[in-house]
Amino acid sequence: MQKITEYIVNIVLLALSTISKHVSDSVRIKIGSLIGLCLRLLSKKRYNITYDNIKHAFPDKTKRELESIAYDSYRNLGITMFELMAIPSMSADELKRKIVYENIDLIAEKQKSGNGVILLSGHYGNWELLAYTAGYFTGVPVTIIVKPQRNKTADEILNSYRTSHNNKVVSMYNAARTIVSELRKGNMIALLADQSATKDKDLFVDFFGRPAATYESPAAMALRLNAPIVMGFAVRQKDGTYTVRLREIPFDDIKDREDAVSILTERHVKELENQIRLVPGLWAWQHKRWKHTPNE
């Protein structure tokens, strides 16, 4: 039964990929929104997790407001997935119209240190487009750290989209050596650090008023290799395009502190939270972000 399900998923992905490459941006938005609705209806349990996460994050909002954020979150998931399938077929001019960086030169400026650049983001807006274009627009080689899909064929299909312009991908489960190697070469690492980490190995950081297990590796690598962290979010506009404002997360002032990793982690988590608060429907609330507690 599982193999049959995986086969159907693969066929659907290939069909959607073909469609996505041949329709306009506005149609992609509509179809992506429909995909998001389908994802929402597929699992009541997952929707309940989504709604509960939003309710805890925004206790003062009404039920209608919370449901609206949940709806927008699913919609964003569908749009991001559907747009990813079209990215490899877009020309450079099309991509530059699709996503506009207000200060893309920050990456090149930070790369001059020779220590590489850690491009950090979250499952917000179109994170796939952000990672894909950051290296393409700057010419800086990018290795994208990804969480492998259970369906191997689907995983291969998705990674083929991500690597169509010479980006590389590596599994988050065996990425440590690759990250060190690429940063020492002066290249860029793109990763997301907003999913729940391990309860006994990583850090608990305040996120929307609750302690959340958070990966310490981005901060630890940055401090160890003196590699700047540049954070950015692809924010969808009303016309379906995206804007990105890059920001460096500083750590020169804490390098010699024993708790430097903790402080730097808190800083990039707060940056993510601030962005989510601006447009909460663009974040993926479906994840069990607070599944661990410090007292477990």
In degrees and rounded to multiples of 5, residue 66 shows phi and psi of -65, -45
pLDDT number for residue 282: 98
Q: How far apart are CA 267 and CA 219, in angstroms?
A: 10
pLDDT number for residue 2: 52
Q: Give the predicted TM-score (pTM) of the model.
A: 0.92
Question: What is the rounded average pLDDT of the residues 162-176?
Answer: 83
pLDDT number for residue 79: 96
Instruction: Render the burial of 99-108: b for 16+ CB within 10 Å, e for the rest.
Output: bebeebebbe
Q: How far apart are CA 276 and CA 208, in angstroms?
A: 10
Residue 203 reports pLDDT greater than 80:
yes
H-only helix segments in 118-216: 127-138, 152-162, 176-184
Q: How far apart are CA 85 and CA 252, in angstroms?
A: 39
Residue 110 reports pLDDT greater than 90:
yes
pLDDT number for residue 8: 64
Query: Could you give the C-alpha distances from 245 to 110, 236, 241, in angstroms and in order?
Result: 15, 12, 14
- Higher pLDDT among residues 106 and 296, named by residue: 106
pLDDT number for residue 67: 98
Q: How far apart are CA 33 and CA 29, in angstroms?
A: 6
- Tokens describing residue 231: 């954070």
pLDDT number for residue 5: 58
pLDDT number for residue 277: 98
Min mean pLDDT across 18-27, 55-64, 239-248 is at 18-27
Question: What share of the chain has pLDDT > 70, as a percent?
Answer: 95
pLDDT band at 1 (very low <50, low <70, confident <90, very high): low
Beta carbons of 208 and 216 less than 8 angstroms apart: no
pLDDT number for residue 77: 96
pLDDT number for residue 156: 79
Q: How far apart are CA 98 and CA 169, in angstroms?
A: 23
- Higher pLDDT among residues 49 and 168, named by residue: 49
In degrees and rounded to multiples of 5, residue 118 shows phi and psi of -100, 110
Min mean pLDDT across 59-63, 95-99, 123-127, 141-145 is at 141-145
Q: What is the mean pLDDT of the chain?
A: 91
Residue 151 reports pLDDT greater than 80:
no
Q: What is the per-residue DSSP string for 10-72? A: HHHHHHHHHHHTTS-HHHHHHHHHHHHHHHHHH-HHHHHHHHHHHHHH-TTS-HHHHHHHHHH
Tell me the range of 101-115, 148-162, 177-191, 260-274 where mean pLDDT is highest: 260-274
SS3 of residue 130 by DSSP: helix
| Consecutive H or E run containing 142 | strand 142-146
